[in-house]
Chain A
Amino acid sequence: MTGRGAGLGYHRRSMTDGHGTDLPLIHARGLTKRFGSFTAVDAIDFDVQKGEAFGFLGPNGAGKTSTMRMIGGVSPVTEGLLRVLGMDQKTDGPRIRARLGVIPQTDTLDNELSVRENLLIYGRYFGLRWSESGKRADELLDFVQLTERKDDIVDHLSGGMKRRLTIARGLINEPDLMLLDEPTTGLDPQARHLVWDRLYRLKQRGTTLALTTHYMDEAEQLCDRLVVMDKAKIVAEGSPRQLIAQYATREVTELRFPPGIQETLDGQLDGVADRIEWLPDRVLLYADDGEAVSVAVHDRGVRPETVLVRRSTLEDVFLRLTGRTLIE
């Protein structure tokens, strides 16, 4: 038994016992989901290993949630192979769900019950005794910093608190795998950081996380490895650093012009950087040395309103792969 964190009675199997270390917790080949004639997930392959934080990055409608729901054992696989925790998703749904912790995209808390009661009753769904469920509920409330609100009715909590309670609820069965669907969408920046902090701690304890997001900063902070999804397919796979190295340059120089000017630049920026992306509101110049690019732009007599040199992000990777931005 390792990684038994204070305030979280969270039993973790070490890497050598339990299942073999080679067996991925999620194994998908040709995984497909169709609704009638609409293909939501189109023959994707991926593996999620024990102990890693694995991300599905992509815009809304890319097929992330459908993939997540199939992994979660609540949505039938149309075609292909999907093994979760060594079990076949098609036949072992309830047994798989018994060992998952699920954080759905929209909160599904019982607003009429208290914070603690929400955890208690959820523990019962996993077959825990009331006393055991209560013990875990208290530990988890401590973990998500909601102990002081434990007797409040859920309806009275802020959005960020509800998210944290949902995370605590997802941990009540001491899951082998956490599924998080857009864990911080709709939260204000401070609440997002609180949620990220808790997820980061889970990750440090070795909990396997699979999460979807359309925020590149979330993916960069939390994911060891990720796939970029677009239009039901996986278009790239790797660690955030690998993907940036492969599909973007080290730095980006962003130019913003007063309205109407950008359209008149015809050819003036040609060759100033390795690659140029023209967005409606700005121009992105990709090169390893962003400062040198901004000097070169100035030398050509181009006068943008603002110049920003920054490091490349997954947003740039996505733009390169699909020609579109993540949040439109």
Chain B
Amino acid sequence: MIAINPAGTLRVFEHRLLEYKRVWRGTLFNSFLTPVLFLASMGIGLGGYVDASGSNVLGGVRYIEFLGPGLLAATAMQAGTFEATFPILAGFIWDRMFHAMYATPISPRDMAIGCIAWIAFRLTLITTVFTVVLVAFGAVRSPLIVLAIPVSILTGLSFSTFVAAFSATQRQMTKFNYIFRFLIQPLFLFSGTFFPIEQLPAFLQPVAWLTPIYHGVALARGLALGTAFENPAIFVVHAVVLVAFVVVGMWLVVRLFERRLVV
């Protein structure tokens, strides 16, 4: 369904890497700063209150242990979305790099897959740094946290693919604001990252199940706490949902890159 031309895809990836050489220090520092700030304020500050209340609502899990892995997946969602907006649109309307690439043997398919591969690489850096910070904060119980990295990358990509496909249809950047404000922001706040979705009104809970972020957060949390394999069926469902989103998203982004460029 998604035939990949490794040579063409690699060229597109290389191009992004060449651009990244100029800015990697800054972005890596950001990837480090974000979890430190969040875990310090919400994990330790807010978490201190929650844990001190003694209600044991989280079943013996400290709040920072509940929050940390969820935040990992949610951060991947935000980064994956952002990387699929402006940098993709730029290739069509600002520096028009995709048009330049299309004058070579590179195909729109190579461009789409190469760009998603690049985002996967960025997510790998971001989530790895994040995981290191989680461990440093003592917010992790199980070595299975290592598997939360690929889970978070998949979570990020389940957004990147669809958002990049959307970007490939745009002629200006105005609608990106809607995505951040009305999609990513609510998902970030209400998909089980900061509190269990059982706290949501009953009618909203099935909505959460339909989003990849809910499955990413649940899976990452299960891995960090070491409880993921206690119920293998649920583990598999979470993983299948994430993979399904990425596969459909990949197909869509390839199609929309082709539709944009082949005219």
Q: Is the interface of A mostly helix, strand, loop or mixed?
A: loop
Interfacial residues of chain A within 33-89, with CB under 8 A of chain B in the complex:
35, 72, 74-76
Number of interface residues of B (CB under 8 A): 22
Rounded to whole angstroms, the CA-CA distance of A286 and B19 in the bound complex is 57
B171 contacts chain A at the CB level, 8 A cutoff: no
A298 contacts chain B at the CB level, 8 A cutoff: no
Query: Which of A101-109, A183-191, A274-282 participates in binding chain B?
Result: A101-109
In the complex, residue of chain B having the shortest beta-carbon distance to the beta carbon of A97: B105
Give the residue among B19, B101, B102, B262 with the most A Cβ atoms within 10 A. Answer: B102
Contact with B along A100-134 (1 / 0, CB 8 A): 10101011111111000100111011110000000
* A121-B14, A124-B11, A125-B106 known; A108-B99 Cβ under 8 A: yes
* A76-B262, A112-B19, A117-B18 known; A125-B104 Cβ under 8 A: yes
The interface residues of chain A lying within 8 Å CB-to-CB of B15 are 110, 121, 124
CB of B100 within 8 A of CB of A122, answer yes
B103: contacting residue among A104, A110, A113, A124, CB under 8 A: A104
The interface residues of chain A lying within 8 Å CB-to-CB of B103 are 72, 74, 97, 100, 102, 104, 108
A29 contacts chain B at the CB level, 8 A cutoff: no
A126: contacting residue among B95, B105, B263, CB under 8 A: B105
A94 contacts chain B at the CB level, 8 A cutoff: yes
- Taking the nearest CB of chain B, how far is it from the CB of A72, in angstroms? 6
A contact residues vs B (CB 8 Å cutoff): 35, 72, 74-76, 94-95, 97-98, 100, 102, 104, 106-113, 117, 120-122, 124-127, 169, 173
B262: contacting residue among A75, A113, A125, A127, CB under 8 A: A75
CB of A108 within 8 A of CB of B96, answer yes
Interfacial residues of chain B within 96-149, with CB under 8 A of chain A in the complex:
96-97, 99-107
The interface residues of chain B lying within 8 Å CB-to-CB of A102 are 103
CB of A125 within 8 A of CB of B95, answer no
CB of B97 within 8 A of CB of A110, answer yes
In the complex, residue of chain A having the shortest beta-carbon distance to the beta carbon of B106: A125
* A76-B262, A126-B104 known; A109-B95 Cβ under 8 A: yes
B7: contacting residue among A112, A121, A127, CB under 8 A: A127
Rounded to whole angstroms, the CA-CA distance of A124 and B102 in the bound complex is 13
Q: Is the interface of B mostly helix, strand, loop or mixed?
A: helix
* A75-B263, A112-B22 known; A104-B99 Cβ under 8 A: yes
Give the residue among B19, B105, B263 with the most A Cβ atoms within 10 A. Answer: B105
The interface residues of chain B lying within 8 Å CB-to-CB of A117 are 18
The interface residues of chain B lying within 8 Å CB-to-CB of A120 are 18
B61 contacts chain A at the CB level, 8 A cutoff: no
The interface residues of chain A lying within 8 Å CB-to-CB of B97 are 108, 110
Rounded to whole angstroms, the CA-CA distance of A120 and B15 in the bound complex is 10
B40 contacts chain A at the CB level, 8 A cutoff: no
- Taking the nearest CB of chain A, how far is it from the CB of B216, in angstroms? 31
B261 contacts chain A at the CB level, 8 A cutoff: yes
The interface residues of chain B lying within 8 Å CB-to-CB of A106 are 96
CB of B262 within 8 A of CB of A74, answer yes
Rounded to whole angstroms, the CA-CA distance of A82 and B14 in the bound complex is 33
The interface residues of chain A lying within 8 Å CB-to-CB of B22 are 112
In the complex, residue of chain B having the shortest beta-carbon distance to the beta carbon of A101: B103
With A74-B103, A108-B96, A113-B19 given, name 9 new contacts (CB 8 A). A72-B103, A74-B102, A106-B96, A110-B15, A110-B19, A121-B15, A124-B15, A125-B11, A127-B105
24 interchain pairs, CB-CB under 8 A: A35-B263, A74-B102, A76-B262, A94-B105, A95-B105, A97-B102, A97-B103, A97-B104, A97-B105, A104-B100, A104-B103, A110-B95, A110-B100, A111-B95, A113-B18, A117-B18, A121-B14, A121-B18, A122-B104, A124-B14, A125-B104, A125-B106, A126-B105, A173-B104
Rounded to whole angstroms, the CA-CA distance of A50 and B261 in the bound complex is 29
CB of B261 within 8 A of CB of A74, answer yes
Give the residue among A74, A104, A125, A127 with the most B Cβ atoms within 10 A. Answer: A125
The interface residues of chain B lying within 8 Å CB-to-CB of A110 are 15, 19, 95, 97, 100
CB of A125 within 8 A of CB of B19, answer no
Question: Which 7 residue pairs spanning A and B have beta carbons closest together?
Answer: A108-B100, A125-B104, A102-B103, A108-B96, A94-B105, A98-B105, A108-B99
- Taking the nearest CB of chain A, how far is it from the CB of B90, in angstroms? 9
Rounded to whole angstroms, the CA-CA distance of A151 and B111 in the bound complex is 26
Contact with A along B132-168 (1 / 0, CB 8 A): 0000000000000000000000000000000000000
The interface residues of chain B lying within 8 Å CB-to-CB of A112 are 19, 22, 95
The interface residues of chain B lying within 8 Å CB-to-CB of A35 are 263
CB of A125 within 8 A of CB of B261, answer no
The interface residues of chain A lying within 8 Å CB-to-CB of B263 are 35, 75
